[in-house]
Amino acid sequence: MSDETKTATRHKPPAATVRQRSQRELVLRRFLRHKAAVVSLVLFAAVVLLAFAGGALWRYDYADITSAVSVPPSLEHPFGTDNLGHDTFAQVLRGTQRSIEIALLIALLAGLVGTLWGAFSGYYRGITDSVMMRIADLVLTLPLLAVAAVLTRGTSGSWWFVALVIASLQWAYVSRVVRGVVLSLREKEYVEASRALGATDRWIIFRHLIPNALGPIIVNVTILVAAAILVETALSFLGLGVQPPDTSLGLLVSEADTAVSTRPWLFYFPGAFIVVIALTINFIGDGLRDAFDPTQRKVRT
Amino acid sequence: MTPIVLTFTFRRLLISIPVIVASTFVVFLLVTLSGDPLANLKGRNPPPSPQVIAVEAHRLYLDQPVLQRYWTWMTGVLRGDFGPSVRTNLDIGHEIAARFGVTLRLVAVAVVLALLLAVVVGVLSAVKQYSGIDYGFTFAAFLFLSMPSFWFAVLLKQGGISLNQLVGDQVVYTIGERSVVVDGGAWAQLADAAGHMVLPTVSLALISFGAWSRFQRASMLDVLNSDYVLFARAKGLTRRRVVVRHALRTALIPMTTVTALDFASLISGAVITETVFQWRGLGDFLVTSINQRDAYAVLAWLLVVAVAVIVFNLIADLLYALLDPRIRYE
Amino acid sequence: MSEIVLEVEDLTVSFPTEDGLVRAVRGVSYELRRGEVLGIVGESGSGKSVTSMAVMGLLPGSAKVGGSVRFRGQELVGAPDKELRAIRGGRIAMVFQDPMTSLNPVHPIGDQIAEAVRAHNDVSAAAARERAVELLAMMQIPRPRERARDYPHEFSGGMRQRVVIATAMANDPDVIIADEPTTALDVTVQAQVLRALETARAATGAAMVLITHDLGVVAGTADRVLVMYAGRPVELGQVDAIYYEPRMPYTLGLIGSLPRLDDARRGERLVPITGSPPSLLDLPPGCPFGPRCPMRQELCDSTEPELLATAPGHLAACHFSADLEGRRPEDVFALTSADHDGGAA
């Protein structure tokens, strides 16, 4: 592209004439222009609301055993019931709640640890960086399924423990991304200037590097939420995730695996919820990526 | 291969050894700490005599301290002995070799399929950025990206069963990697294998396709926006030539690397697909071994996967150097 | 006078962006005669590169192009891609700013030149390669036959730009558009590249549009100069007239900020133009240079001046161009720059 067009499209109006729009406002505006992301955000919010508020309002509790056994979807039981008489709708709401809790906890833990790990590694470079990154590499080579399988075996399979296990491997991805961003940020003039003014390392990391790496961090952690939902599902399928009587979407679908031809509603409804949740989060992540990194959207052809 | 490539390869393999040692050691500790491999034996009714248990414990190196157990196992591997299995008659080395062949066949075909689809779709999406086609493909990619692999596999399996019922004949097989008995010659054998492969391959391929097509699109867009593509157009080349020879040729370089790296992770990631379609591959081997707390079997699995990761990392780098004249072996 | 090869008339280009419509080019007209060198001068953002991209038909699909571009009478704006392809690289060739990025890193340079030859001539691959080697030799690339097999990264910046120029002259074009051909290069190789361009022009007899922000480059090369500001031509004339009798304060300012080693102005201080070019997003009415102009009067704020003849063959867009007669840069700029500094920025 000729640099005129570049300058033209990125041109910032002079401060005197037009007020400078804040970074946050710009990001929000770009995000709102991503239709799929906005629709997804609304849909995701609706699912969350349904799961967390709807479960309490619904006429059946997920543990209730009704007299209707293995009935197909009806007005009474919109998603049907299982062979014990559990109302599937109530169970799906409960499972959604758990799955989202697990995914968010994973994203939070992995995001936090990964960000700090990557920021320190990238900022200090040298031997610190080498050691920290070799550790991250080692974690990346450990197959998630094997570790999760081994770790969750001996335990009761409570949901937070499952989340902890998954997060204990996923942080390494985040740390790689953050390190990459920090490596380039630390060479920026404002970091130089801050250092020249005698700022401490901790000040530079928390006041300059992490806030400026926030865009990629948010995007990656968002996508991690979607991935976490799918990983939890896979683990539950292998019998290594959340254990009954607690439930999650993954557990619901895997329990319905054998019933798929006789009582398909048990399989399709929770599965559809997983797809909707993961799909909306992925689109939200895509919208955030566009919002934080508008250069990706430049068009030429 | 030129000597420089050989040196490079050798050096890379050499520095991977500590990684393998470290990761097998971590997994060894995890498996060891997760439970008593003799629990099944001890729980039998009537309870076996202490002598029987002691013999079994000795066979499984359980009479050695933990660190020494790992050492015994590792030195054994160097001699080609993969260690004792909890399952008495199981030769781990022999078994895992057979399993590896099954998984490799599944993954290799799926990767080729996914790669072809991803490149075509990614290129079309990029060239027609923000068109209906692009939006359609984007949605499809995100959909596959968002499906739990086993849910999708079961969906396909159900579809296969319905198809068979509809046609009234076994068109695709939904269970196993081959029939127990196949009448007829090589063609019948091949047709049988192919019939078993369709569904697992498609289910594995489409999941990878989601991520890869997005990657190919991004990489293609990058190149399409480059100065040299503009310059190629300024030379008066046809659009096709610009897209294929200048854009695609360059955009394939990062894609090759990603594919090679994912190939390795698919070998371990095929667990779900194998379980759903009941293939006796590496995944099934892992799940069974974990359930039996069969430490050395889990380690053998990890060893195979880790070596695959290293080999494919190496292949990725070699391909990169081959495709990109700017890269030199260092 | 020789015939007109390229005629640009009232060319406009605008880009829809997330902040609104950016009017990058707002009515550019010029004509280029056979063998002539036209320098287009302006700051980045003045629309000089976009103008030439529009001529080549290489703007992104989102760009809205108006007006007319005629090559030997053939209209290029809105022409089908097939027609444009025959012109691009064949009749009108282009040299880009950054030689480090304008060659494809994965193909040998000989192939990249040869494909330009084959795009416009029905010749064998071997013949095209032979022509590529010949072109490299003309561009003073040592051992051209071997070097043709090398990849771009094996060449220095100056050599790569000569490879790009060799590609541009491959089909004996009638027009070569060089878009800031020396900007990305070391000062020491700039002269080398300018010489290579001159060689290409002499060998092909092409007319040339030399786009630059450096009046010094234009001075030694161009026959005529077009000065652009905020997407419009603000002055057009013979190179001597532009240098010695500028009729637009902006041009005068550009000359004042140019270091010179010849006798004419030795010992004089450089005078900067304060402020920065306006946003092309929402241009206020009036002269776009007004806010930076030391000669601004009320009229300048309300009415944008038209490009009018001040002498035969000399056009300027300034309400007070007559007042500039005989004035030197420091007369106009230096006096007011002090109180201007306080207000701007």
Does a structural domain hold residue A11?
Answer: no
Whether C106 has its CB under 8 Å from any CB of chain B: the answer is yes
Whether C101 has its CB under 8 Å from any CB of chain A: the answer is no
Angle at CA B103, nearest 5°, toward B100 and B106?
150
Helix runs in chain B, H state only: 3-34, 39-42, 50-59, 66-78, 92-127, 132-145, 149-167, 186-224, 227-234, 239-241, 249-269, 271-276, 282-291, 295-323
Closest alpha carbon to C105 in C155, C143, C65: C155
Contacting residues of C for A32, CB less than 8 Å apart: none
Query: How sure is the predictor about A301, in pLDDT bands with cuts at 50, 70 and 90?
Result: very low
Sheet bearing C37-41, strands edge to edge: C92-95, C175-179, C207-212, C37-41, C224-229, C232-238, C314-316, C308-311
User: How far from the centroid of its chain's Cα atoms is residue C153's Cα?
Assistant: 27
pLDDT digits (tens, 9 = 90+) for C86-137: 999 999 999 998 888 899 999 999 999 999 999 999 999 999 999 999 999 9
| Distance (Å) from the alpha carbon of B7 to chain A's nearest alpha carbon | 23
Chains that touch A (3 or more CB pairs under 8 A): B, C
CB contact under 8 A, B145 and A282: yes
CB-nearest partner of A150 from B31, B130, B230: B31
pLDDT for C72? 92
Closest alpha carbon to B39 in B66, B60, B70, B67: B60
Q: What is the pTM of this model?
A: 0.85
CB contact under 8 A, A234 and B35: no
pLDDT digits (tens, 9 = 90+) for C142-172: 999 999 999 999 999 899 999 999 999 999 9
CB-based contact A283:A40 (threshold 8 Å): yes
pLDDT for C126? 94
Domain count, chain A: 1
pLDDT for C159? 93
CB-nearest partner of B148 from A142, A151, A230: A230
| Distance (Å) from the alpha carbon of A178 to chain C's nearest alpha carbon | 28
CB-nearest partner of A300 from B142, B224, B271: B224
CB contact under 8 A, A3 and C276: no
CB contact under 8 A, C116 and B325: no
| Distance (Å) from the alpha carbon of B231 to chain C's nearest alpha carbon | 6
Per-chain mean pLDDT for chain B: 85
Does a structural domain hold residue A66?
Answer: no
Question: Which amino acid type is present at position C41?
Answer: V
Select from B131, B134, B235 the residue whose CB has the most chain C CBs within 10 Å, as the one to mutate to test that interface: B235
Contacting residues of C for B233, CB less than 8 Å apart: 58, 88
CB contact under 8 A, A257 and B154: yes
Domain B3-48+99-323 has CATH 1.10.3720.10: yes
How many contacts does A have with C, using Cβ atoms within 8 A? Answer: 63
Question: Which amino acid type is present at position C58?
Answer: L
CB contact under 8 A, A275 and B151: yes
CB-based contact C268:C330 (threshold 8 Å): yes
CB-nearest partner of A142 from B23, B272, B275: B23
| Distance (Å) from the alpha carbon of A17 to chain B's nearest alpha carbon | 32
How many contacts does B have with C, using Cβ atoms within 8 A? Answer: 76
Contacting residues of A for B306, CB less than 8 Å apart: 141
pLDDT for A155? 63
CB-nearest partner of C60 from A11, A14, A300: A300
CB-based contact A279:A225 (threshold 8 Å): no
pLDDT for A8? 38
**The dihedral of CA C127, C132, C136, C139: what is its sign?**
positive
Which of A135-139, B74-78, B142-146, B286-290 holds the top average pLDDT? B142-146
C134's enclosing H/E stretch is helix C125-138
| Distance (Å) from the alpha carbon of A20 to chain C's nearest alpha carbon | 13
Chains that touch C (3 or more CB pairs under 8 A): A, B
User: How far from the centroid of its chain's Cα atoms is residue C169's Cα?
Assistant: 18
CB-based contact A295:A215 (threshold 8 Å): no
pLDDT for C95? 93
Tokens 């005129």, residue located:
A4
The structural domains of chain C, ordered by start, are 4-222 (3.40.50.300), 228-337 (no CATH)
* Length, in residues, of chain C: 345
| 3-class SS of residue C35 | coil
Cβ-based interface (< 8 Å): residues of B facing C: 226-239, 241, 245-246, 249-250, 253, 323-326
Query: How sure is the predictor about C264, in pLDDT bands with cuts at 50, 70 and 90?
Result: low
pLDDT for A300? 33
Alpha carbons B110 and B102: distance in angstroms, whole number: 13
Contacting residues of C for A28, CB less than 8 Å apart: none
Does a structural domain hold residue A47?
Answer: yes
pLDDT digits (tens, 9 = 90+) for A121-176: 988 888 888 888 888 888 887 777 777 766 776 566 688 888 888 898 889 888 98
pLDDT digits (tens, 9 = 90+) for B150-189: 889 888 888 888 888 888 777 777 777 777 667 777 788 7
| Distance (Å) from the alpha carbon of A28 to chain B's nearest alpha carbon | 21
**The dihedral of CA A26, A29, A35, A37: what is its sign?**
positive
Closest alpha carbon to C229 in C177, C273, C278: C278
Q: Tell me the average pLDDT across A227-255.
A: 84
| Distance (Å) from the alpha carbon of A279 to chain B's nearest alpha carbon | 5
Cis omega before residue A211 (within 30°)?
Answer: no
CB-nearest partner of B230 from C58, C115, C167: C58
Name the C residues in 129-188 with CB < 8 Å from any B CB: 151, 153, 164, 167
Whether C18 has its CB under 8 Å from any CB of chain B: the answer is no
CB contact under 8 A, B230 and C120: no
User: How far from the centroid of its chain's Cα atoms is residue A90's Cα?
Assistant: 24
CB contact under 8 A, C96 and B227: yes
Strand partners, C235: C227, C316
pLDDT for A184? 84
pLDDT for A66? 76
Does a structural domain hold residue A4?
Answer: no
Contacting residues of B for C116, CB less than 8 Å apart: 235-237
Whether C307 has its CB under 8 Å from any CB of chain A: the answer is no
Alpha carbons B73 and A113: distance in angstroms, whole number: 34
Q: What is the CATH number of the domain that holds A273?
A: 1.10.3720.10
Alpha carbons C173 and A19: distance in angstroms, whole number: 48
Strand partners, B246: none
Q: What DSSP line would sit under C294-342, residue for residue?
A: TT--HHHHH-PPP-EEEETTEEE--TTGGGGTT--HHHHTHHHHHHHHH
pLDDT for A156? 64
- Asked if residue A11 has pLDDT above 60, the reply is no
Q: What DSSP line would sit under C140-188, residue for residue?
A: T-SSHHHHTTS-GGGS-HHHHHHHHHHHHTTT--SEEEEESTTTTS-HH
- Report the chain A residue with the minimal C-alpha distance to residue B273: A234
Q: Tell me the average pLDDT across B106-133.
A: 92
- Asked if residue B272 has pLDDT above 80, the reply is yes
CB-nearest partner of B146 from A150, A253, A275: A275
Contacting residues of A for B17, CB less than 8 Å apart: none
More confident residue, A211 or C95: C95
| Distance (Å) from the alpha carbon of C17 to chain A's nearest alpha carbon | 6
pLDDT for C297? 84
Does a structural domain hold residue A223?
Answer: yes
CB contact under 8 A, A7 and C45: yes
Contacting residues of C for B228, CB less than 8 Å apart: 101-105
pLDDT for C108? 94
Contacting residues of C for B326, CB less than 8 Å apart: 105, 151, 153
Q: For residue A169, what are the domain limits?
A: 25-57+87-292
Alpha carbons A191 and C330: distance in angstroms, whole number: 40
Q: Where are the domains of chain B?
A: 3-48+99-323
- Report the chain B residue with the minimal C-alpha distance to residue A139: B23
Contacting residues of C for A17, CB less than 8 Å apart: 279
Phi, then psi, of C207 in degrees rounded to 5: -80, 155
Closest alpha carbon to B294 in B59, B21, B20, B22: B59
CB contact under 8 A, B290 and A146: yes
| Distance (Å) from the alpha carbon of B256 to chain A's nearest alpha carbon | 20
pLDDT digits (tens, 9 = 90+) for A64-87: 777 777 777 777 777 777 777 788
- Asked if residue B121 has pLDDT above 70, the reply is yes
Query: How sure is the predictor about C41, in pLDDT bands with cuts at 50, 70 and 90?
Result: very high
| Distance (Å) from the alpha carbon of B269 to chain A's nearest alpha carbon | 8
Contacting residues of B for A138, CB less than 8 Å apart: 19, 22-23, 26
Name residues whose C-beta falls within 8 Å of residue A235's C-beta, 6 or more positions apart in sequence. Answer: A145, A148, A149, A152, A162, A166, A241, A250
Closest alpha carbon to A136 in A178, A183, A169, A181: A169
The ipTM value here is 0.87
- Asked if residue B202 has pLDDT above 50, the reply is yes
Q: Tell me the average pLDDT across A13-38.
A: 68
- Asked if residue A20 has pLDDT above 70, the reply is no
Chains that touch B (3 or more CB pairs under 8 A): A, C
pLDDT for C343? 37
Alpha carbons B315 and B305: distance in angstroms, whole number: 15
Helix runs in C25-78, H state only: 48-56
pLDDT digits (tens, 9 = 90+) for A38-71: 999 999 999 999 888 887 777 777 777 777 777 7
